[in-house]
Structure 1
Amino acid sequence: MNWLFELHKTQPVAHAIGALAFVCVLGMALGSLKFRGIGLGTAGVLFAGIIVGHFGNPVDHATLDFVKEFGLVLFVFTIGLQLGPGFFAALREKGVKMNALAAAIVVIGAITAPLSGKLMGFDMAAVLGIYSGGTTNTPALGAGSQAISSMENVTADQRAMPALAYAVTYPMAIVGIILTLLIVKKIFAIDAPKEAAEFAARNRRQVDALERRTLAVTNPNLNGIRLADVPGRIEAEVTISRIRHQGETVVAHEDTILHRGDLLVVVGTPKSLDQFERVIGQRSSEDITVDESNITFRRVAVTDRGVLGKTVSQLGLDQRFDVAVTRVTRADLEMSAVPGLRLQFGDQVQIVGHPEDLDRAAKLLGNSLKELNETHFIPLFIGIVLGIALGTLPIAVPGLPQPVKLGLAGGPLIVALILGRVGRIRRQVWHMPVNTNLAFREFGIALFFAAVGLNAGAKFFATVFSETGVQWLAAGIMVTMLPLLLVGIFARVVLKMNFMDLSGLLSGSMTDPPALAFASNIAGSDAPTVGYATVYPLTTLMRILSAQVLAIVLFG
């Protein structure tokens, strides 16, 4: 077995890879353990790395540095792709208020960390770790560590210190966030289940489901005019799939001529159908969809790049294939397929026509399950390259001694948010199946945690049980709880914020899933996830930027 114990000398890269894999196994096993429904999750890899780094042979630092940065890029880029479509929408309406409060929490924490460091006489490198660990924000740790790694006035010991301080303060920060939620709940005597019910009643989205209705043409003014020329059809946002004229049922076309007595199958919301009914004539109790005709319907997925971005009318399926498009389902939202609706990758389209015509239309739209579940690697790597380019771009900020760089955490995140929102550029589609996204994200953060833990392990135990370690813990608790209590009390007293919004806001402002799980548990509802998701993207971005600003201010 001597070859194995000498591996760190004979084959350092192989030893590093083996150690990383071993740490991930131990850490994920540790993270799966839960106490009252709360566990460390992937963060368990960090502590497993510390243990292995402390007791094991030293690992090749060049390999660890590469793995750490690569894992961080994967993690933030996949987060950005997932959050991109809803990020800008979160900044509107209620999201503006909640994001402003979350931003206040970030700013107060970023001020508290260096102040506590100065008062207690910490090395400023430790402040970056205390700030990241006290806010349980891994991307901030990556951004801060990456920012000082290129600074000439920073020693090797200082470069390792943020990870060490992060590991010391992180566990108590989770406890601090949960404790803050309990304190706010106790101060205001909050009945969480009751507020969850009030939240559901007040925020229940009144989205009318689409329904199908048969209308009879009795309006004499419509006799002999084209379907496309029927007044109010576009404004009512309804679609017409079938028309029965003199006993024969056909697929509806824009050029179909209407006659008095015709029956139309119309799809839309109840309100829009009532509006359109007043134009057409009257409702009919007949259901012509059950007529003995060869007309049927099918749901197909939009996967062909040639149709992406085109409107329903531009496709012209009615003219080309004798097929009507009635509904489009996108992200669990069903919409009427109005002519101006632009199709996106992954849309589920309901089409009506004869079987052979539906086959041809489905071929045009793509309808490829393989494409839908496939990860497009060319756009993925294009996005990473653009993210690295943006992250390494020096950005001059007035008042700062040197340019700010978004780094390997900020650059890929911003690019991914933009690309996730845009969705596609020409034939390149930034679509990643949810399971694949989660797999890449977990893989990336596990690599990052493992590398950070192995680097910090040598000095961790000597630090955490020292006077310095206790002071770090105290500073970390201040960074965690002070901003949360100040903003939480303000939001409750002044803004009268419901506890579901408030607990989601406080958890999301710390980007802390265990706290979100705890908030959902005490409320008996998933309602806090709304606030959490609303503030998470902007908070993550601000944490990354603030960590870099701190690094420049403290070491610039």
Structure 2
Amino acid sequence: MDLVNSLFSVSSAIEAVVVISMICAAGLALGKVRFFGISLGVAFVFFFGIMFGSFGITIDHNMLLCLEDFGLALFVYTLGLHVGPNFFGSFRQEGMSLNLWSLAVIVLGTIMAVVMTFFTGIKLPDMIGVLCGATTNTPALGAAQTALEHIGIGGGRAALATAVTYPLGVLGVIIAMVFIRRFFVSKDDLRPRLTGETDNTFIGQYLIVNPALEGKTIASVAHDTHAHFIISRLWRAGEVILPMADTILHINDSLLVVTNKDDEGAMLMLFGKEMDKDWNKAKIDWNHIDSNVESRVIVLTKAQLNGKKLGGLRLRDTYGVNVSRVIRGDIKLLATDDLVLQYGDRLTIVGRPGDIDNAENFLGNSVKTLNEPNVGSIFLGMVLGLILGSIPIALPGMTSPIRLGLAGGPIIMGIIVGALGPRMHFISYTTRSASLMLRRLGLALYLACLGLDAGSGFIDTVLRPEGLLWIGVGFLLTVVPVTIIGVIALKTKKFDFGTICGILCGSMANPMALSYANDSIKGDAASVSYATVYPLGMFIRVIIAQLLVMFLV
């Protein structure tokens, strides 16, 4: 018994590990329990931490801050790493629109906060703290405190207001998403609509009836059209031919063509006639189409090939094989010559069995190697992200520089490494299971420490004269903007519900609500849209906090 008591009474690293581990274990276990059909998932760790803290259980403050910051940095960096490969594609397609909806949530909440100072009697410095807590944005609080101290007003009450409104700020976004899903979401709204997350390719069989193609090589035809395509098989007079760049096309040749979905119409115009056969079904035995040509998926595991362009490997000329598609995560990409390959890419290769064997030896195809997560690159990326987050950014008219902070720097660096790492020959590949575990581990550590810290003075703060008023106002500032903008965005029918949840969570800088969205909605739509809007949203909130102090206090 004395040994057990010492684990909680003697301040030590062991005590910190025991307490945080107990909070995470209990919170994650109870997070699986459904209350009225709703499960909070990993977010329950936060509330379990508050309960521990309210009972007077504490750990060394420096240890608490260390674990909390490490957990947050680990979570946001691995989240950025996870969505990085899809980020710029989704940003080009929907990114501007996503950020505008996020900005709408931010602006509406800010206007509400300013207006409510006149009706509630809450002073603006305190209201800024309430707003930071309602939006779970501690970097904005830090910026506001700096600005308040600059004009001779202490930031202690703002921090107190943030602490008391933070818990319901976490829960409020989840409540709003549950409300929207219960009363406004249809089955069609639950289906992903962002094209960046699915199959980007189309496979079709075409018969050449266009006389302009007679006698031309495949290379010349590809050069003369703006559309990208790969011819993986060619049938001529009942004989299968493996097409090469110098293969000459003739009328009545039948081609199996892989192209982008958007170029399906262009292929019909180019070749003349599309055969009535669906080659895009989930299960097709490609190796039973003909006996002379085989289709095989080979994994790129040669580190020296990471970041190389597919065309630069000269697989067609050297080994006599064609690469039709590249599978990266859950995305199928057209195998164009300018496609930059990444470690772990799965290449669909078509050719004769012996030629494919030679190509396989060149590319690696060591699946066992992929089972070993590249942990060293994750720590290096986190270091770079923390350095990025600490760089001061001076803006005209601002009394103090802006920093991306502990959350902003790592998530941006994660996105950059995930998207552009191969171009810099930086291997960032991590298995899906390892990536998910690291994200869950980081988030659980962060929430446990955050809840434990908030719970230590939670009851005393609530019992203050302003406490209940701050909580009520903060809850409105959380729920009302998220619900209004979420319903309006849903009614446009442009985004699926998962994408909208990511927008709402990202605009409120709320990783706990994102975790709930990921647990309750299939696919990665919420994570992709969250990462798309989070950096800009967090940056704008930091600026708004300082602007409110500068012009209205």
- TM-score bucket of the superposed structures, by smaller chain: 0.7 to 0.9
- Give the drift of 1:19: 0.7
Query: Is the contact made by 2:101 and 2:485 (CA closer than 8 Å) also made in structure 1?
Result: yes
State which of 343, 355, 358 in structure 1 corresponds to 2:356: 358
The residue aligned with 2:323 is 325
CA offset digits 1:386-424 (Å, max 9, x no partner): 111111111112222211111111111222222222142
The residue aligned with 1:209 is 202
The residue aligned with 2:535 is 541
- Give the drift of 1:365: 1.8
- Give the drift of 1:102: 1.8
Give the residue type in structure 1 aligned to 2:86: G
The residue aligned with 2:282 is none
Distance 1:302 1:437, change over 3 A: same
The residue aligned with 1:441 is 439
Give the Cα separation in 2 of the matches to 1:338 and 1:388: 36
State which of 221, 230, 246 in structure 2 corresponds to 1:239: 230
Give the Cα separation in 2 of the matches to 1:199 and 1:2: 55
Give the Cα separation in 1 of the matches to 2:44 and 2:337: 51
**Paired residue secondary structure (2:109):** helix
- Give the drift of 1:498: 3.1
Give the Cα separation in 2 of the matches to 1:274 and 1:121: 66
CA offset digits 1:346-400 (Å, max 9, x no partner): 3322223333321220122222223444422333222212111111111112222
Give the Cα separation in 2 of the matches to 1:100 and 1:219: 47
- Give the drift of 1:446: 1.1
- Give the drift of 1:77: 0.9
Give the Cα separation in 2 of the matches to 1:76 and 1:197: 25
User: Are residues 1:497 and 2:488 paired?
Assistant: no
Query: Is the contact made by 1:397 and 1:403 (CA closer than 8 Å) also made in structure 2?
Result: yes
CA offset digits 1:70-90 (Å, max 9, x no partner): 111011112212233333344
Give the Cα separation in 2 of the matches to 1:261 and 1:486: 59
Distance 1:394 1:553, change over 3 A: same
The residue aligned with 2:379 is 381
Q: How does 1:427-466 map to 2 (within 5 A)?
A: 427-466=425-464
Query: Is the contact made by 2:222 and 2:229 (CA closer than 8 Å) also made in structure 1?
Result: no
CA offset digits 1:42-73 (Å, max 9, x no partner): 22112211222232443111110111111110
The residue aligned with 2:245 is 254
Query: Is the contact made by 2:297 and 2:347 (CA closer than 8 Å) also made in structure 1?
Result: yes
**Paired residue secondary structure (2:257):** strand
**Paired residue secondary structure (2:456):** helix
User: Are residues 1:141 and 2:135 paired?
Assistant: no
Give the Cα separation in 1 of the matches to 2:295 and 2:181: 51
The residue aligned with 1:390 is 388
The residue aligned with 2:503 is 508
**Paired residue secondary structure (1:39):** coil
- Give the drift of 1:243: 6.2
Give the Cα separation in 2 of the matches to 1:11 and 1:403: 37
Query: Is the contact made by 1:98 and 1:534 (CA closer than 8 Å) also made in structure 2?
Result: no
**Paired residue secondary structure (1:6):** helix
State which of 416, 419, 432 in structure 2 corresponds to 1:418: 416
Give the Cα separation in 2 of the matches to 1:3 and 1:36: 40
**Paired residue secondary structure (1:450):** helix
CA offset digits 1:305-329 (Å, max 9, x no partner): 3334444432222322232333333
User: Are residues 1:299 and 2:290 paired?
Assistant: no
The residue aligned with 2:280 is none
- Tell me the C-alpha RMSD between the 2 structures: 4.7
- Give the drift of 1:181: 6.9
Query: Is the contact made by 1:277 and 1:283 (CA closer than 8 Å) also made in structure 2?
Result: no
The residue aligned with 2:68 is 68
Give the residue type in structure 2 aligned to 1:386: L
Give the Cα separation in 1 of the matches to 2:176 and 2:214: 71
CA offset digits 1:281-327 (Å, max 9, x no partner): 99999xx9879865423111223233344444322223222323333
Q: Which runs of 5 or more residues in structure 2 are unaligned?
A: 278-285
Query: Is the contact made by 2:176 and 2:483 (CA closer than 8 Å) also made in structure 1?
Result: no
- Give the drift of 1:168: 4.8
- Give the drift of 1:6: 3.5
State which of 465, 468, 476 in structure 1 corresponds to 2:466: 468
Give the residue type in structure 1 aligned to 2:452: L
Distance 1:143 1:296, change over 3 A: same
Give the residue type in structure 1 aligned to 2:70: F
The residue aligned with 1:4 is 4
Most deviating of 500-509 and 87-96: 500-509
Give the Cα separation in 2 of the matches to 1:211 and 1:143: 52
The residue aligned with 1:29 is 29
The residue aligned with 2:400 is 402
Q: How does 1:144-293 map to 2 (within 5 A)?
A: 144=141, 162-176=162-176, 178-179=178-179, 192-193=185-186, 196=189, 209-212=202-205, 222=215, 228-229=219-220, 235=226, 237-241=228-232, 251-255=242-246, 258=248, 266-268=256-258, 271=265, 274-275=268-269, 277-278=271-272
Most deviating of 402-411 and 159-168: 159-168
Give the Cα separation in 2 of the matches to 1:210 and 1:544: 41
CA offset digits 1:433-479 (Å, max 9, x no partner): 33222211111111111112222222212333554332122111221
Give the Cα separation in 2 of the matches to 1:199 and 1:69: 33
TM-score, normalising length from structure 1?
0.77
The residue aligned with 2:14 is 14
Distance 1:164 1:264, change over 3 A: same
Distance 1:341 1:74, change over 3 A: closer
Query: Is the contact made by 1:149 and 1:159 (CA closer than 8 Å) also made in structure 2?
Result: no
Give the Cα separation in 2 of the matches to 1:426 and 1:81: 15
Distance 1:22 1:365, change over 3 A: same
Give the Cα separation in 2 of the matches to 1:175 and 1:459: 24
Query: Is the contact made by 2:47 and 2:451 (CA closer than 8 Å) also made in structure 1?
Result: yes
Give the residue type in structure 1 aligned to 2:38: I
Query: Is the contact made by 1:177 and 1:480 (CA closer than 8 Å) also made in structure 2?
Result: no
Give the Cα separation in 1 of the matches to 2:8 and 2:19: 10
Give the Cα separation in 2 of the matches to 1:195 and 1:356: 47
- Give the drift of 1:264: 6.5
Query: Is the contact made by 1:195 and 1:498 (CA closer than 8 Å) also made in structure 2?
Result: no
The residue aligned with 1:58 is 58
Distance 1:442 1:178, change over 3 A: same
Give the residue type in structure 2 aligned to 1:267: V
Query: Is the contact made by 1:249 and 1:291 (CA closer than 8 Å) also made in structure 2?
Result: no
Give the Cα separation in 1 of the matches to 2:420 and 2:44: 35
**Paired residue secondary structure (2:400):** coil
Most deviating of 74-83 and 59-68: 74-83
Distance 1:82 1:67, change over 3 A: same
Considering only CA atoms, is the larger Rg found in Structure 1 or Structure 2?
1
Give the residue type in structure 2 aligned to 1:254: A
Number of aligned residue pairs? 529
Query: Is the contact made by 2:206 and 2:268 (CA closer than 8 Å) also made in structure 1?
Result: no
